Amino acid sequence: MHRPVLRNAPLLAAGAAVLAVTAAAAPAADSVPHARQAKSPVAVGYGGAVASVDADASAAGIEILRRGGNAVDAAVATAAALGVTEPYSAGIGGGGYFVYYDAKSGKVHTVDGRETAPGSADETLFLEDGEPIAFDEAVTSGLSVGTPGTAATWDAALDAWGSKSLAQNLKPAERLARDGFTVDETFRQQTADNEERFRNFPATVDLFLPGGELPVVGSTFKNPDLARTYAELGKKGTGLFYRGALGREVVDTVRQPPVGPDQEHQVRPGDMTTGDLRGYRTKRQAPSHTDYRGLDVYGMAPSSSGGTTVAEILNILERSDVSSLSEEQYLHRFVEASRISFADRGRWVGDPAFEDVPTKALTSQRFADARGCLIKEDAVLESPVAPGDPHRPRACGTGGPAVATTYEGRDTTHLTTADKWGNVVAYTLTIEQTGGSGITVPGRGFLLNNELTDFSFTPVDPEAPDPNLPGPGKRPRSSMSPTIVLRDGEPLLAVGSPGGATIITTVAQTLTNHLDRGMPLVDAIAAPRASQRNAAKTDIEPGLWNSPVREGLEGLGHEFGQSSEIGAATGVQRMPDGRWLAAAETERRGGGSAMVVRPHGRP
C-alpha cells in the first residue's frame, strides 16, 4: 500500500526562506494594541502556536499560552476574540465543534456544541400553508435561531481539559472589545453586504453602523456592550446565558425580534424558550476516525457530516498513488471522490439522537472501496450520484434515489492551537451566514445565529428518506470538519476551515496536498481549491479556472463554475525537531494569522 509522502526534512528546506521571514510571535502578554496586529501566514517556534483568520485573535491565544495556559485555554481565548473582530462569522450567539488531542493520554476527544431547534419544532418549521418560506426570509428571522452552544462549549472544554478559568481566558477579548480594533476592508465589505437587512434592527444599526454609516477602513471599532457581556460571563459563569438574565434577553429577542418602527420587511418570530436554554447540553462523544496510509485521522462525528465525509473521500483516494498523479489526474479523482461522498452524506448523515447514522460503516475502507469503483479515468459521473448502502456495501452499487446537496451558508471561522505540552485543538465555530440572522441582542454586543436554516425545509426527494428535517431539540446537519491527524499516537497536524459544505472539500484537499503531494502546510492551504458536492458543476477558484488543467478536465466531461474564494483554512503542525508550525491563509479573507510563543531559542 502506498504510504504518505511526509518528507519533513525536504518540506522544511522548501519553506525555509518563507519561514525565516514570516515566523511570528505575539506582542507582550499584557498588551493587545488597538490597531490590528500585523498578519503572517506562517510561524515556527516553541512554547505553543495559534492560527486563526485574525491577528488580534491569534495574539489573544498566544497571550494565554504565555501566561501558562494550555491549548484549550488558548482556543477559548482566541474564539472569544474572534467574537469581537469577526462578529459576522462567530460569537456566543452561535455554536461549533471542538476537537482536542490530549498529550497525557494520547486520546482525541470532541465536544459537539451545535445549536439545537426549539422543543416545539417539527418538520413544518419552515413551512407556511404547506409551502417552504423563502430562504432569505427564513435567514433574517427569529425562526432561524437555534439554541446557542458556544458558551456551553467553552465551559465544557475548560472544565474537562483547561487550566485557567473562563474569566481569565475571556480577559484578552474583553479588553479588545472595550479598547477596539482597526477596521479593515474585509470587515467593512461584510458590513456593506449586510447593510440592507441590518437596517431592520435598531440594535444592529447602533452597533455595526455607527452614526448610521458603514464603518470606515482604518477607524477604531469598539464594542463596549460585548466587553460588559464577557466581563459578566467571566464573573457569573455560563449559567448567566443558560439559566439567567442574559438567556432571558436572548429568548425575548428571538420571540420578538426588535425591528424598527418604520420597517416594512416581515421578520418572523422564533419559538425559543427559556426551557430550551436550560435544557441545552453539549455532547462529549467519540471522534470520527479512519486510517489513511498508516495515519490516524480524527474528526467530528455526527451531528456534523465533516468527519465521516472527509474520511470517505480519503478512503476512496487511498487506493490510488496520489503522489504520483499529474495535477489533472489528481483533481479528477479528488472531484469524483467528493461527488460520491456527498451523495452518501446527504442520504445517511443527520443528528444521531434522531437518526440511525452508520458512522463506522461510512468511514470504513470496505464501503469506500465499494463506492470508489464508480470512478472512471476517462469520464465523469453524472450528478447527482445516487448514494450507496453502507450497511450492505456492494461494488459500484447504489442504495436509493439520487438527490442534490442542499445549500449551507459559507461563513464560519476556524482556529487551531497547540501548547508546549503537546496538546492540540482544532475548533470550528459559527453563526452560519455572514451576519447570522442579522439580529443583535440589544445591549449585549453580539448577533444571533441563523443555524436552523441548515435543516432541509422539505424533503430533498419526497420518495427518499431525509435525515436532516427539523425536529424538537434536533441539531441541524453541519459540514464543519475540525481534524487532527496522528502518527504513531503523536500529533502530526491539525486543520480546519469555514465555508459551509465546501469545508469538507477544503479540509480533504489540504490534507492530500500536504500528506500525499508533498506541499508544505502553508502551501497546501494556499493552493487553489476545487469543491464538488454532488452537483453538475464543480466550484473552482481563479487559480484553477485560469489554468490549463481546467481545459484538460473539461475534456473528460467536467463542468465548472468559478468561485472567487473557497474557505479560509488554518492549521498547526508538529515539526521533527519539536517546534510547532502554525499556518494560515496567504490571501483568502485578507490573509490569516499564524503565531508562536517563541520563534527563537530552545524548548
Instruction: Write out the DSSP string of 267-292.
Output: -------HHHHHH---EEEPPEEEEE
- What CA–CA distance (Å, rounded) separates 272 from 279? 11
Between β-strands 580-584 and 42-52, what pairing exists: parallel, antiparallel or unpaired?
Answer: antiparallel
Q: How confident is the model at residue 264 (pLDDT cuts 50, 70, 90)?
A: confident
Is the pLDDT at 119 greater than 80, yes or no? yes
435: left (phi over 0), alpha (psi -120 to 50) or beta: left
- The pTM of the full predicted model, rounded to 2 decimals, is 0.94
Q: How confident is the model at residue 1 (pLDDT cuts 50, 70, 90)?
A: very low
What values do phi and psi take at 526, rounded to 5?
Answer: -75, -20
- What CA–CA distance (Å, rounded) separates 76 from 58? 11
Measuring CA to CA, which residue among 179, 167, 204, 9 is closest to residue 88? 204
Inter-residue contact 477 to 303 (CB < 8 Å): yes
Question: What would the pLDDT profile of 32-87 be if each residue is shown by its tens digit?
Answer: 444 456 789 999 999 999 999 999 999 999 999 999 999 999 999 999 999 999 99
Q: Which residues pair with 413 in a beta bridge?
A: 429
What lies within 8 Å, CB to CB, of 326 at 6+ separation is none
Question: What would the pLDDT profile of 385-434 be if each residue is shown by its tens digit?
Answer: 999 999 999 999 887 777 777 766 657 899 999 999 999 999 999 999 99
- What CA–CA distance (Å, rounded) separates 123 from 475? 13
Question: What would the pLDDT profile of 459-504 be if each residue is shown by its tens digit?
Answer: 988 878 899 999 999 999 999 999 999 999 999 999 999 999 999 9
- What CA–CA distance (Å, rounded) separates 317 from 331? 11
What lies within 8 Å, CB to CB, of 333 at 6+ separation is 317, 320, 322, 325, 375
8-26+40-284+407-598, which class in CATH? alpha beta
Measuring CA to CA, which residue among 159, 1, 194 is closest to residue 72? 159
Active-site residue numbers? Answer: 412
C-alpha cell at 317: 483516494
What values do phi and psi take at 127, rounded to 5?
Answer: -110, 145
Is the pLDDT at 355 greater than 90, yes or no? yes
pLDDT of residue 17: 35
**Choice among 13-17, 59-63, 95-99, 478-482 with the minimum mean pLDDT:** 13-17
- What CA–CA distance (Å, rounded) separates 603 from 600? 9
Is the pLDDT at 182 greater than 50, yes or no? yes
Inter-residue contact 561 to 539 (CB < 8 Å): yes
Alpha-helix residue ranges (DSSP H) falling in 394-464: none
**Backbone CA torsion sign across 384, 387, 393, 394:** negative
Inter-residue contact 144 to 133 (CB < 8 Å): no
